[in-house]
Amino acid sequence: MSSLVSLEIDGRLGVVTLNGPPVNALTIPLVDELRAAQDQLARARVTVAAIRSLVPGFFMAGADLIDGPIEAFRSAVGCLDAARDSDLATGMVFERAAVLRLFDSPDGREGIAAFLEKRLPSFGS
């Protein structure tokens, strides 16, 4: 990993850290490094990944990513790849399909239920 993205793996937990001042701008180099982090997480069989920022006041300018299950991380990176590698309409179709797939997953249903019930989610159970 380079200075834009670092990765820590502890058993089945992965922590991806963004450090691209001033705003962690969504750029092709950042997407490439996120893809590399995703590959490392998959090889390590990580089941839960959190994404955090070292830039005070900013998560990532140009993207709406969340902490959460590894499948959400994979989908987010896939959406970033689609945005980089295709036209806007194709990227939006890819993103819509990914969001619908995630909402219909067990973790997606748990996340929605937890939000509505105002409690912390219990992913992967």
Torsion of CA 110, 59, 70, 120, to 10 degrees: -30
Instruction: Specify if 123 maps to a domain.
Output: no
Whether 13 maps to a domain, the answer reads: yes
Q: Which amino acid is at 99?
A: V
Total of domains in the chain = 1
Provide, for the chain, the percentages of residues in helix, strand and coil under a 3-state DSSP scheme, each rounded to the nearest 5. 45, 15, 35
Residue 83 domain-assigned (yes or no): yes
Which has the closest alpha carbon to 72: 45, 88, 53, 48? 48
Q: Tokens representing 69?
A: 């299950």
Q: pTM here?
A: 0.50
In a domain, 45, yes or no: yes
Q: Residue 85's pLDDT is what?
A: 82
Going from the C-alpha of 62 to that of each of 10, 30, 47, the distances in angstroms are 29, 11, 26
- pLDDT, one tens digit per residue, over 15-55 is 889 888 888 887 888 888 988 998 898 899 888 788 888 88
- In the chain, % of residues over pLDDT 90: 10
**H or E element that contains 56:** none
Determine the Cα–Cα distance for residues 1 and 101; give it in Å rounded to an integer: 29
Position 96 in a domain: yes
Q: Classify residue 70: in a domain, yes or no.
A: yes
Residue 123 has pLDDT above 80, yes or no: no
Give tens-digit pLDDT for 89-110.
888 888 889 888 888 888 888 8
Residue 81's pLDDT band (cuts 50, 70, 90): confident
Question: Token match 């295709």: residue?
Answer: 86
Residue 124 falls inside a structural domain: no
pLDDT tens per residue across span 53-72: 888 877 776 554 444 566 77
**Over the stretch 109-119, which tens digit does the pLDDT of each residue have?**
888 898 899 99
**Do the domain assignments include residue 105?**
yes
Q: Give the domain extent around 96.
A: 5-116
